[in-house]
């Protein structure tokens, strides 16, 4: 089993997808990882739309190419659309905070769990925050009351090259007390 830090360092935003199709079973495994991510009060404020039909994949890719960027997403073989659901908090906590207070963090954790599982299976991913929400909502028949949180492009990378991560120095972002 590989070290978790090695997996985290290897995972990167894929921008060079190959033509190789993604196996349905691998997508299911990635959703299982996302589904089992931790969530505040075990509220699990998520649902997922996995797009693997090539015609719909092409349409989803178009929704992610605003401002003339992200053309590489046309080569993705699948997409994950992460939808924010109503969070049901524990009765003791519900009167104290907004129902969605933990949701964004939970959704981020679920998305990362999906992406790390994908990486462990040899798949590349790219988390996308800029996309045409109204078009995507219409295309995938996502109700108006639901918030589309993120989109993840999925496919096999056309290269094995792992770019060095550029991160702030550890001493700049942490304080041990």
Q: What is the CATH number of the domain that holds 43?
A: 3.40.109.10
Query: Rounded to an integer, what distance in angstroms lies between the CA atom of residue 124 and that of residue 17?
Result: 8
Could you list the residue range(s) of the whole structural domain that residue 116 is in?
7-159
The two tokens of residue 9 are 């360092």
Query: Rounded to an integer, what distance in angstroms lies between the CA atom of residue 102 and that of residue 11?
Result: 25
Instruction: Taking the CA atoms of 84, 89, 93 and 99 in sequence, report the sign of the dihedral they define.
Output: positive
- The answer to the question of residue 164 being in a domain is no
Q: What is the pLDDT of residue 2?
A: 62
Read off the pLDDT of residues 11-27 as tens digits, 9 standing for 90 and up: 999 999 999 999 999 99
- The answer to the question of residue 21 being in a domain is yes
- The answer to the question of residue 167 being in a domain is no
- The answer to the question of residue 172 being in a domain is no
- The answer to the question of residue 155 being in a domain is yes
3-state secondary structure of 83: strand
Read off the pLDDT of residues 121-165 as tens digits, 9 standing for 90 and up: 999 999 999 999 999 999 999 999 999 999 999 999 999 999 999
Query: Rounded to an integer, what distance in angstroms lies between the CA atom of residue 55 and that of residue 154?
Result: 15
* Total tally of structural domains belonging to the chain: 1
Radius of gyration of the chain (CA): 17
- The answer to the question of residue 19 being in a domain is yes
């Amino acid at each position: 089993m590989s070290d978790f830090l090695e997996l985290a360092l290897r995972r990167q935003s894929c921008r060079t997808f190959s033509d190789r199709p993604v196996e349905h079973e691998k997508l299911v495994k990635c959703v299982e990882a996302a589904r089992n991510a931790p969530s505040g009060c075990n509220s699990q404020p998520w649902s997922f739309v996995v797009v693997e039909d090539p015609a719909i994949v092409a349409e989803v890719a178009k929704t992610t190419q605003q401002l003339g960027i992200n053309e590489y997403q046309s080569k993705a073989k699948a997409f994950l659309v992460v939808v924010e659901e109503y969070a049901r908090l524990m009765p003791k906590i519900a009167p104290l905070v907004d129902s969605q207070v933990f949701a964004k963090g939970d959704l981020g954790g679920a998305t990362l769990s999906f992406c790390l599982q994908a990486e462990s299976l040899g798949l590349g991913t790219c988390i996308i925050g800029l996309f045409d929400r109204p078009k995507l909502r219409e295309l995938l028949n996502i109700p108006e009351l639901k918030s589309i949180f993120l989109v993840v492009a999925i496919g096999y990378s056309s290269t094995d090259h792992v770019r060095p991560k550029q991160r702030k120095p550890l001493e700049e972002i942490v304080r041990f007390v």
